Amino acid sequence: MKKEVVIIGGGIIGLCCAYYLQQDGHQVTIVDKSDISSGASFVNAGYITPSHIIPLAAPGMISKGLKWMFSTSSPFYVKPRLEADFLRWSWLFKKSATATHVERSIPIIKDINLLSRALYTDMKNAGDFDFHYQRKGLLMCYQTEKEGEAEWKMGQLAIAEGLNVQNLTKEEAKKLEPNVDFNIKGAVYFDSDAHMTPTDFMPQMIALLRQKGVQFCTNAEITDLEIANDKIVSVQTSKRTLKADEFILAAGSWSSILAKKISIRLPLQAGKGYRIDVKEHTGITMPAILAEAKVAVTPMQGFTRFAGTMEIGGINHKINQVRVNAIAKAAETFYNGLKIPREAIESAACGLRPCSPDGLPYIGKTKNYKNLIVATGHAMMGWSLGPATGKLVSELVGEKPTSMSLDGFEVERFG
């Protein structure tokens, strides 16, 4: 049965939901508070990352967070706040950061990433639009023996999950990246990963969806949701009222605010990340993560992107120049001779990633509303998991068997 569907949120998750829903013949409208030209879906590292099998909530993150809290340039920062939502999220994060949780999450995260990578490939091969997509793998570059041991431990976990991972010397890494002078001890290489250029993909996807008949209601704030008989009837926006058979909540870091309007507890915190784009030639052709600094490096179409930090500090778009400078400094430390221009640093942008307390996204139906599906909480894997999430959502709307189990993604798993 073909349905009218309203998607709340026009980031990578919302767009991918629309892509698969319109393929299934549903009439789709996307509503977003912005003009869909900025935010986390535009400033991320563009990674498709089956290698990233460890959830954010893992043993040791609490102690690291406490240690880094006193450093203005640390890669992970939590700003303490006396707010009920933040305090509850922090308690749930601490409760989730166990070895048992990590062990249970690894295959789930790996499977949804592999599904998403396959769907990106299908999307590329379909020929509807020509976006930048390369499968070159990912280098986890390290400068100290201690970090190298930790990275290889992660690599061995990935090998146990069937991924192809190699522990490289500096000289072996240099063979993969011949045009740069690495200042590293070595690198762990994940063959599984791919990368893209978000600023290339997003406008093209929007244009394709418009062409396919998807409607867009942009620069529209949602003011209210009308409920009747355990169903959402409509959403009122600052522009117009939108009625539908099904509603998808994919509003990223704002999802919990909207969920609260209809008494759904959706623990989420916004994790701010920054990006610096360097248009000058860097010689970098391989995606890399600079392990000690937690900085992602991506060769994109026409520029090299340096991205990093996870700053849990509420919903705001203030640029912390100290953290931006730390990203630039880290890049120059790992690549001898690299100089990031001052204008690139001053043009840095940020985006807010929706973080669940256990590091797993929320994907699925809600208990109290028959026609509401939630798709958010992807943290640093939003870009990677866009197509998989969109496909799963479209299968739920069409009442079809899902491409993978939704165990672990339950929307109301925290009560």
What is the tens place of the pLDDT at every residue in 297-326? Answer: 999 999 999 999 888 889 999 999 999 999
pLDDT (0 to 100) of residue 244: 98
Is the predicted pLDDT of residue 22 greater than 90, yes or no? yes
What letters, b where the CB count within 10 A reaches 16 and e where it falls short, cover 317-349?
Answer: eeebeebbbbbbebbebbbeebebeeebbeebb
pLDDT (0 to 100) of residue 80: 78
pLDDT interval class at 59 (50, 70, 90): confident
Is the predicted pLDDT of residue 72 greater than 90, yes or no? no
Is the predicted pLDDT of residue 356 greater than 90, yes or no? yes
pLDDT (0 to 100) of residue 99: 92
Is the predicted pLDDT of residue 63 greater than 80, yes or no? no
Report residue 216 as tokens.
């867009």
pLDDT (0 to 100) of residue 81: 82
Instruction: Please report whether residue 368 resides in a domain.
Output: yes
Report residue 97 as tokens.
């950061």
What is the tens place of the pLDDT at every residue in 177-221? Answer: 999 999 999 999 999 999 999 999 999 999 999 999 999 999 999
Calpha distance 380→253 (Å, rounded): 12
Instruction: Please report whether residue 219 resides in a domain.
Output: yes
Instruction: Please report whether residue 236 resides in a domain.
Output: yes
Calpha distance 19→211 (Å, rounded): 11
What is the tens place of the pLDDT at every residue in 140-152? Answer: 999 999 999 999 9
Task: Give the mean pLDDT of 159-177.
Answer: 97
Burial class (CB in 10 A: 0-12, 13-18, 19+), 104: middle
Is the predicted pLDDT of residue 64 greater than 70, yes or no? no
Instruction: Please report whether residue 207 resides in a domain.
Output: yes
Q: Are 317 and 344 in contact (CB under 8 A)?
A: no
Calpha distance 362→409 (Å, rounded): 5
The pLDDT > 70 percentage for the chain reads: 97
Structural domain span for residue 303: 4-397
Going by the DSSP 8-state scheme, the letter that residue 242 receives in this structure is E
Instruction: Please report whether residue 243 resides in a domain.
Output: yes
pLDDT (0 to 100) of residue 312: 87
Burial class (CB in 10 A: 0-12, 13-18, 19+), 17: buried
Nearest residue to 300 (alpha-carbon basis) of 286, 319, 312: 286
Instruction: Please report whether residue 321 resides in a domain.
Output: yes
CA-to-CA dists, residue 182 to 176, 330, 411, angstroms: 11, 12, 43
Nearest residue to 34 (alpha-carbon basis) of 276, 317, 348, 311: 317
Length of the chain measured in residues:
415
Q: Are 39 and 9 in contact (CB under 8 A)?
A: no
Q: Are 253 and 33 in contact (CB under 8 A)?
A: no
pLDDT (0 to 100) of residue 182: 97
Which residue bears the tokens 């409920």?
227
pLDDT (0 to 100) of residue 3: 97
What is the tens place of the pLDDT at every residue in 73-89? Answer: 777 777 778 889 999 99
Count of domains forming the chain: 1
Is the predicted pLDDT of residue 68 greater than 80, yes or no? no
Calpha distance 272→350 (Å, rounded): 7
Nearest residue to 66 (alpha-carbon basis) of 101, 39, 99, 93: 93
Calpha distance 337→238 (Å, rounded): 51
pLDDT (0 to 100) of residue 79: 79
Threshold 0.85, pTM exceeds: yes
pLDDT (0 to 100) of residue 77: 77
pLDDT (0 to 100) of residue 294: 94
pLDDT (0 to 100) of residue 289: 97
Nearest residue to 255 (alpha-carbon basis) of 411, 93, 108: 411
pLDDT interval class at 70 (50, 70, 90): low
Going by the DSSP 8-state scheme, the letter that residue 379 receives in this structure is G
Instruction: Please report whether residue 403 resides in a domain.
Output: no
Q: Are 97 and 61 in contact (CB under 8 A)?
A: yes
* CATH at residue 109: 3.50.50.60
Instruction: Please report whether residue 170 resides in a domain.
Output: yes
pLDDT (0 to 100) of residue 234: 97
